[in-house]
């Protein structure tokens, strides 16, 4: 009897381990496919929808549209990178190359969903979408057709990113406060800062990788990251102190994200291990959940 019980306990333990491995594999797949970035985009979009007082209505159709569009761009960006002449050795590029068919199918599905969502949004949003689509097309054209275009992705991608995350809520809003524009500018600087930080660490991992460190030295990239933090903190102190309003809380979150990124860049030995920098920087955007 004891032996039979032990058999079933061992069997249950083995099945539990297999289940945990499956869960780990799923989360790893979603992470490499940048699904966590999609969630972060949703959180950031909601944060801007809630401006200026934290109680503004949220259009969930637009949140879905923005998040799906971000995922489409991220997937296509990696796939197009893999078609470049140079070898891309990052885990994400290898993942996108290995699962290219599945990811292309996902892109088609997301496009179909986005087209369906268009029936529930205003014409102003559709015009913004067309403009953003042209901007994305220009971005991919510059990256692929010019010799140095790929080196300046860190400055072009933030424009596309912010047009979507800030532009959609602003277009949907009946009025926009000046403080909202300041916050959008701070967010734009943070996106640049984050992408520069990624390039800085990618250069540490693989000095041969093609990114902005090929035209701007890693030392200068590091200085620019710190200077961006200084600008963001300055704006936060000058325009968003003296109260606990939603916009002030949001500015505090933005300043905190910027400071965290600078701290990470200041400790490259620790955060370059096992891509710790990527995990931490990606998940700083979820700090907006603290003010919801």
Q: Write the secondary structure of the chain as one string of H (helix), E (strand) and C (coil).
A: CHHHHHHHHHHHHHHHHHHHHHHHHHHHHHHHCCHHHHHHHHHHHHHHHCCCCCCCCCCHHHHHHHHHHHHHHHHHHHHHHHCCCCCCCCHHHHHHHHCHHHHHHHHHHHHHHHHHHHHHCCHHHHHHHHHHHHHHHHHHHHHHHCCCHHHHHHHHHHHHHHHHHCHHHHHHCCCCCHHHHHHHHHHHHHHHHHHHHHHHHHHHHCCCCCCHHHCCCHHHHHHHHHHHHHHHHHHHHHHCCCCCCHHHHHHHHHHHHHHHHHHHHHCHHHHCHHHHHHHHHHHHHHHHHHHC
Give the global pTM.
0.87
Predicted confidence band of residue 29 (pLDDT cuts 50, 70, 90): confident
Greater pLDDT, 10 or 191: 191
pLDDT in the model for residue 141: 81
Predicted confidence band of residue 252 (pLDDT cuts 50, 70, 90): very high
pLDDT in the model for residue 248: 95
Predicted confidence band of residue 174 (pLDDT cuts 50, 70, 90): confident
Q: Mean pLDDT throughout 85-102?
A: 72
Predicted confidence band of residue 17 (pLDDT cuts 50, 70, 90): low
Q: What percent of the chain has pLDDT over 70?
A: 88
Cα distance between residue 249 and residue 53, in whole Å: 10
Predicted confidence band of residue 180 (pLDDT cuts 50, 70, 90): very high
Greater pLDDT, 137 or 145: 137
pLDDT in the model for residue 211: 81
Query: Considering the chain, what is the average pLDDT of its residues?
Result: 86
pLDDT in the model for residue 216: 87
Predicted confidence band of residue 81 (pLDDT cuts 50, 70, 90): confident
How does pLDDT run across 199-244, given as a tens digit for each residue? 999 889 888 877 888 888 999 999 999 999 999 999 999 999 878 8
Q: What percent of the chain has pLDDT over 90?
A: 50
For residue 136, the tally of other CB atoms under 10 A from its CB is 20
Of the listed ranges 137-146, 207-216, 282-291, the least confidently predicted one is: 137-146
How does pLDDT run across 38-72, given as a tens digit for each residue? 999 999 999 999 998 999 999 999 999 999 999 99
């Amino acid at each position: 009897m004891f032996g039979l019980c032990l058999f079933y306990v061992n069997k249950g333990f083995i099945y539990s381990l297999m289940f945990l491995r499956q869960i780990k594999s799923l989360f790893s797949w979603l992470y490499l496919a940048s699904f966590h970035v999609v969630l972060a985009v949703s959180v950031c979009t909601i944060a801007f929808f809630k401006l200026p007082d934290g109680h503004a209505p949220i259009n969930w159709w637009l949140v879905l549209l923005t998040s799906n569009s971000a995922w489409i761009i991220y997937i296509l960006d990696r796939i197009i990178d893999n078609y470049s002449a140079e070898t891309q050795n990052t885990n994400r590029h290898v993942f996108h190359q290995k699962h290219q068919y599945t990811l292309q199918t996902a892109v088609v599905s997301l496009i179909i969903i986005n087209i369906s969502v268009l029936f529930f949004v205003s014409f102003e949003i559709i015009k913004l979408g067309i403009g953003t689509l042209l901007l994305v097309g220009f971005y991919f054209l510059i990256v692929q057709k010019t010799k140095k275009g790929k080196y300046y992705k860190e400055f072009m991608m933030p424009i596309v990113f912010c047009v979507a995350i800030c532009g959609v809520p602003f277009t949907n809003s009946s009025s926009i406060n000046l403080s909202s524009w300041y916050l959008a500018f701070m967010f734009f600087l943070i996106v640049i800062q984050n992408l520069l930080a990624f390039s800085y660490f990618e250069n540490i991992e693989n000095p041969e990788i093609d990114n902005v460190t090929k035209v701007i030295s890693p030392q200068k990239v590091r200085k620019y990251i710190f200077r961006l933090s200084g600008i963001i903190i300055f704006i936060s102190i000058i325009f968003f102190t003296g109260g606990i309003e939603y916009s002030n809380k949001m500015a505090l979150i933005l300043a905190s994200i910027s400071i965290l990124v600078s701290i990470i860049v200041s400790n490259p030995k620790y955060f370059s291990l096992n891509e710790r920098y990527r995990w931490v920087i990606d998940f700083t955007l979820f700090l907006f959940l603290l003010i919801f």
